[in-house]
Chain A
C-alpha cells in the first residue's frame, strides 16, 4: 500500500472541520468537542495536548465517526483523502484499514478472553483478507515488528498473561495489521512505567518513519509531545486554542492557556504554574461562559472575552491562536 507520491510534498490525508460532539445532560447539551478543526498530512506527527476532560479522547473516536452513547456528532465534517468518514459506508472501509487507533490502558482495550493470535487472526482474515498459513506468518511478522520476542509462543497468550508494555505492543501490532496510513494514538503511554513509556514512544516513532505512517498523538503530557511530534495543537474545553510547530510552541507559546500548561511542567528555571491546580474544571462544561472558555481562569481576561468564543486565527506562518488578546493577521 503506497502512502504518498514520493515527491516530498505533503499530501493532505485527514481534514476535520468544525467537528462538534454533544452529550445531553440535565443542564442541556454539553459539547465534548466544539468546532474542532485539524489537518494531518502524510508523514506527519501531530500532537493534540490538553488536560483530562478537554475532549481529546472524544475527538479521537469522533474522527472515526464513533461516539459512545448518549453522545452524538452534531455537526462538522471529517474527510479522509476527500471522502466523508461520517458516512457509514466510508467509515467501514476506513476504520482499522486506513486509520487505526491505539488506546490507553491496553489491559482493558484488548479482549480479555481472546488470545493475541486470535485477535490478530480475525483482523487479518476479515479486514485484510489473508487466508491459511499467510495469517500466522503475518501475525509473527507483526509481533516481530513491535519488538515482541518469542512471537510464536505469544500468539497463544491472553492479555492478562502479558506485562503492560507487552500488551501495548500487542495493541500496536493489531493497529498495524491492516497497514494503516494514519494511527491515532490516544494516551498510548499513560499508565505505563516511565522506562516502558519511553520504549513505546520510540517504537511508535520508528514505526511511523519506517512505514511512512502519520500519527495523531493525543496526550496530556507535554513531554510526550516534545519527544514525538512535529506539530502540536492545544485543546481546551473541546476547542483548539493554539496550533504551532513544535519548536515554536515550546519557545514562544501564545495562548494564555498554553503558557500556563508550559509553566505547569516542573522546570528548574521556573516556579510551578498555578493553573492546573484550579479545581472543578473543566468537567463543569455546562456552566462555561458563552465567551472564551478559558476566561474564568485567565490572567489576561477582559470584558470583550465574555461574549463569544474567540475564533482560531492565523498570527504567523503555521501559527494559529484563538485569543482576543492575540489578534490574528488581518483583524483589527
Chain B
C-alpha cells in the first residue's frame, strides 16, 4: 500500500511537471509575455527592450531552466500588472477558491447521494421522475445563469444572503449551489442507475432474502458498490470546477478567487500571472485525481495496486 502510494505520488508529480512544461511552451514559444503585455501598435524597439528587461532574449533552454528551477521553490515569476510575485498573488486567492470548490462539492455530494437513493428506491415512481426532472434542468442550465437566477431570487428579492463578495459562510451558499447543482444532477442520475442495477445483482437478492429491508440493502449493500464510481465521478466534477466553473462563478459573484484573478490577468495582458494561475489550478486537478485514486483503493480492496 505504501509503495503503491509512493508510486502514485511520483506519477502525479511527473504529470504536474509535464503540464507546467506545456504551459511554458504556450507562453514562451508560441508567444512571449513581453509581446502580450504591449499594445499591438508597439514598435519593434519597444518590444526588444521589454524582452531584454524580462530576460526573454536569452535562449529558450536557459529560460526554461529558470522557469523550472523557479517552480521548485514556488517562484512563478513577477506579475507586471501588479508588480508583485505571481505566486504570492495566486496563493493569496487560493483559499477563497478552495472554499468555493469545497462548498460546491458539499452541495454536490449531499444532494446527489440522497437523491440517487430516493430515485432508486421509488424507481419509476413520482420521486424518480422528480429527481430526473431536477437533473435535466440543472445539467441543461449554464452555471452563470443559475448564478444570476439565485442572486435575483435569494439576494435581491428575498434578501437572505449578500449578492456578492465573500463575507463569511453565508456568502458561500449561493455560489456553491450555482456550481454544485449541475454536478449534483449528473451524479444523482449516476447513483440512481448504479443502485437500480446493483439491486438486481445476486448479492443484493441474497441480502433481501435474508430479510434485510430494501432501504437497508440500498444503503448498506448497493451504495457501497456504487461508491467507487461515485467518488470517481465526484473527482471529475471537481476537475470541471477547478478548470471552468469557478472561473465563471467567481466573476458572477465577485468572488476573490484564483479564477477571477486569472480573468483580470488576461484583461491586463499579464501572461506571467495567467501562467501562474494555470499552473496552480492544473496542480489542483492532478492532486484531486490522486485523492480519488486513494479513496477508490480504500473503498474497493480489489482495485489493482498497480
Report A's interface with B, CB cutoff 8 A. Answer: 61, 64, 66, 68-69, 92-97, 100-101, 103-105, 108-114, 122-123, 126-127, 158, 160, 171, 174, 178
Q: Is B210 within 8 A of A174, CB to CB?
A: yes
Additional A-B contacts beyond A92-B211, A108-B201, A113-B301 (14; CB < 8 A): A95-B210, A96-B211, A100-B209, A100-B210, A104-B202, A109-B202, A109-B205, A111-B207, A111-B224, A111-B225, A122-B212, A126-B212, A160-B302, A171-B206
Residue of B210, B212, B225 touching A113 (CB-CB under 8 A): B225
B58 at the interface (CB under 8 A from A): no
- Interface size counted on chain B using CB atoms at 8 A: 22
Q: Is B200 within 8 A of A123, CB to CB?
A: no
**In angstroms, how far is the closest chain B Cβ from the Cβ of A97?**
6
Distance, CA A110 to CA B205, complexed state (A): 10
**In angstroms, how far is the closest chain B Cβ from the Cβ of A322?**
29
**In angstroms, how far is the closest chain B Cβ from the Cβ of A170?**
11
Q: Is A123 within 8 A of B300, CB to CB?
A: no
Q: Is B302 within 8 A of A66, CB to CB?
A: no
Q: Is B205 within 8 A of A112, CB to CB?
A: no
Some 8 contacts from A to B, beta carbons below 8 A apart, are A66-B208, A95-B209, A95-B210, A101-B206, A113-B225, A113-B299, A126-B216, A158-B302
Chain A residues within 8 Å of B300, by CB: 113
- B residues 166-211 near A (Cβ < 8 Å) are 200-203, 205-211
Q: Is the interface of B mostly helix, strand, loop or mixed?
A: helix
Chain B residues within 8 Å of A110, by CB: 203, 206
Distance, CA A49 to CA B255, complexed state (A): 70
- Chain B: CB-nearest residue to A118: B220
Distance, CA A127 to CA B207, complexed state (A): 11
Q: A105-B202, A110-B203 are in contact. Are A96 and B209 (CB under 8 A)?
A: yes
Residue of B201, B210, B299 touching A127 (CB-CB under 8 A): B210
Q: Is B299 within 8 A of A68, CB to CB?
A: no
Chain B residues within 8 Å of A171, by CB: 206
Residue of A61, A66, A109 touching B203 (CB-CB under 8 A): A109
Q: A111-B221, A113-B300, A122-B220 are in contact. Are A103 and B205 (CB under 8 A)?
A: yes
Q: Is B211 within 8 A of A112, CB to CB?
A: no
Q: A68-B200, A96-B211, A97-B211 are in contact. Are A109 and B206 (CB under 8 A)?
A: yes
Distance, CA A135 to CA B220, complexed state (A): 19
Q: Is A113 within 8 A of B211, CB to CB?
A: no
**In angstroms, how far is the closest chain A Cβ from the Cβ of B199?**
9
Distance, CA A126 to CA B211, complexed state (A): 10
Q: A66-B205, A109-B206 are in contact. Are A114 and B211 (CB under 8 A)?
A: no
**In angstroms, how far is the closest chain A Cβ from the Cβ of B210?**
4
Q: Is B210 within 8 A of A111, CB to CB?
A: no
Distance, CA A122 to CA B220, complexed state (A): 10
Q: Is A61 within 8 A of B225, CB to CB?
A: no
Q: A122-B220, A160-B302 are in contact. Are A111 and B203 (CB under 8 A)?
A: yes
Q: Is A95 within 8 A of B202, CB to CB?
A: no
Chain A residues within 8 Å of B210, by CB: 95-96, 100, 123, 127, 174, 178
Q: Is B205 within 8 A of A61, CB to CB?
A: yes
Chain A residues within 8 Å of B220, by CB: 122
Chain B residues within 8 Å of A112, by CB: 203, 225, 302
- Chain B: CB-nearest residue to A123: B210
Chain B residues within 8 Å of A95, by CB: 208-211
Distance, CA A160 to CA B216, complexed state (A): 23
Chain A residues within 8 Å of B211, by CB: 92-97, 127, 178
